[in-house]
Amino acid sequence: MRGRHLFVVPIVAGLTLMIPPPTSVGETPNQKRIDKLIEQLGSSNFAEREKASRELAAIGVPALDALRQATKSEDAEVRKRAEEILPRIERQAESMRVLAPTRVHLIYKDTPLGEAVADFQKKSGYRIQLHDPDGKLRERKLTLDTGETTFWHAFVLFCDKAELSEMSMEELLRVPQPPGVQAVIRPGRSFMPGRNGQLILKDGKAKKLSTDDRCAVRVRALGKSDLFGNVPQGEIILALEVSLEPKLQWQMFQSIHVEKAVDNRDQKLTQVIPQVEGAAGIVGGNLAGGVVILQQRQMQMQMQMQMMVRQKMGWSGLSQIVPVQFKKGVKEAQALKELSGTLTVQLLTAAQPLIAADKLDKSAGKTFKGDKGGSIKIVSVQAEEDQTTIQLEFEQPPYDKVAPVQSHVILGDGIRDGAQLAGVKASIRDGFMESFNGLSVQDNKGNALPIKVATAAPVQRQPGPGFGPIMSYVFLCRHEKDKGQPAKVVYLGRKRATVEIPFVLKDVPLP
């Protein structure tokens, strides 16, 4: 008879997602091995059950389907252990989805640079612009074949071959605004119309930096140490630039945990708590067990550091500068042969349809709910020759789970294109736009149709806890010749997630 022992897999408070390190084909366990381990979860030998649990947790995502089946096992011990392991593996799978890179294949042969930039923008779905005020770069010829690769890696190859470099945050702040457009400044944040979510390229090759660009988050070692104040004697502060693909959005940097730091003298450097005047340090918890402990004082320290950086360098919306601090080795060294670790960040996922009210011609009076909460109630639909009038009530999903896609506004007399949202390019022309607070009207093929907000008013009934106000809208949807008739109302939103991002950097110069 088996003894009754409790096997506990530590989990992270809240939603913490982990992306496991890549494994080679030879290391990938086959299905027979996974099935055998599932069977051993019910072994009469406690040590064997423990070993099987550990191995399945280490295998991770490839064992996901088998673990889900095991939660329905007739053996109570197998069910219990599978249920304990499963949430962690599901978080790993979700993290891999969130951090999956956009993949592109760029091929150019004597292609004018203006055309190449436009093609790169089209293939990636991101806004990439050439800063060419004198018109000298557009006709420069480019020959390149990147092979199929990640967006960030292709971006580096493109810039290197085209002899271009990414504009820094300081340079972005100095670029003149288009006529009729001015920056909107908010406390602790500067919003630069036409720049947030954009990559702007300028003439001149970029300095080669140690980079990890395997996923949708690029990590580069800048090597600057003067961004964070004075460096304590006997210590080193490196600056890491952490850049998201434009499909993702920053919420907050939480922590950095260094697993390996070896210099060119083969000395192992020890990570120390960064010190900022008037702020406490930050400490990473047991990352191997999937646990990161972040006290209030630690979060305040990181916020103070980020404010210091933004005051000096501005804010582009895609990147954050992260400090990592070490105690120097006894021997003087010039570089780190390897720096590896894990970054924990909060972000908003790519914009995606979260609520869809379809079959508009038959949906009057119906309510459509989202899997993260919230709803769209179609009150009435009136179709005319040139336009369709749609009255609806929209209940915002809980703010702690979903962030709405921002509306796009017209400033002065200029027209500003918005970011690409799940393949929909938002813009405003003559009072019509293709999305409003994440809501869009689409045809059967998913094309966004121009809408104008005729009325917007709060509904008297109270929303649920954590929800935003329930709003009543009347949309005027303009018919267009090259698109179909209004077929559905879709809400585009971004899910909130905390992810753990592994990085490996080679040959990092020391300041």
Pair of tokens at residue 471? 């709003």
Write down the pLDDT at residue 409: 36
Is 490 within 8 Å of 355 (Cβ atoms)? yes
Write down the pLDDT at residue 183: 42
The tens digit of pLDDT for each residue in 340-356 reads: 998 988 899 988 899 99
| Delimiting residues of CATH 3.55.50.30 domain(s) in the chain | 103-174+187-203
Structure letter (DSSP) for residue 229: S
Q: Does domain 103-174+187-203 have CATH number 3.55.50.30?
A: yes
Q: Which of 277-286, 373-382, 423-432 has the lowest mean pLDDT?
A: 277-286
Q: Identify which of 194-198, 200-204, 479-483 has the greatest average pLDDT.
A: 200-204
Rounded to 10 degrees, the C-alpha dihedral 458/464/468/470 comes to -20
| Delimiting residues of CATH 1.25.10 domain(s) in the chain | 16-98
Write down the pLDDT at residue 355: 94
Is 157 or 483 the better-scoring residue by pLDDT? Answer: 157
448-449 and 367-369 strand pairing: unpaired
Task: Report d(CA 142, CA 136) in Å as an integer.
Answer: 14
- 373: number of CA atoms within 13 Å, CB side? 19
Q: Does domain 16-98 have CATH number 3.40.1000?
A: no
The tens digit of pLDDT for each residue in 145-184 reads: 999 999 999 999 999 999 999 887 666 666 665 544 444 3
Q: Look up tokens 């929909």; give the residue.
A: 424
Task: Report d(CA 304, CA 440) in Å as an integer.
Answer: 38
* pTM (predicted TM-score): 0.73
Q: What is the DSSP string of 80-142?
A: HHHHHHHHHHHHHHHHHHHTPPPEEEEEEEEEEHHHHHHHHHHHH-SEEEE--TTS-STT-EE
Pair of tokens at residue 504? 């490996």
Phi-psi map region of 214: left, alpha, beta (phi>0 left; psi -120 to 50 alpha): alpha
Task: Report d(CA 462, CA 472) in Å as an integer.
Answer: 13
Is 445 within 8 Å of 432 (Cβ atoms)? no
Task: Report d(CA 171, CA 164) in Å as an integer.
Answer: 14
Is 499 within 8 Å of 18 (Cβ atoms)? yes
Measuring CA to CA, how many Å separate 17 from each of 99, 218, 322? 10, 17, 20
Task: Report d(CA 157, CA 140) in Å as an integer.
Answer: 16
Cα separation of the two ends of the chain: 62
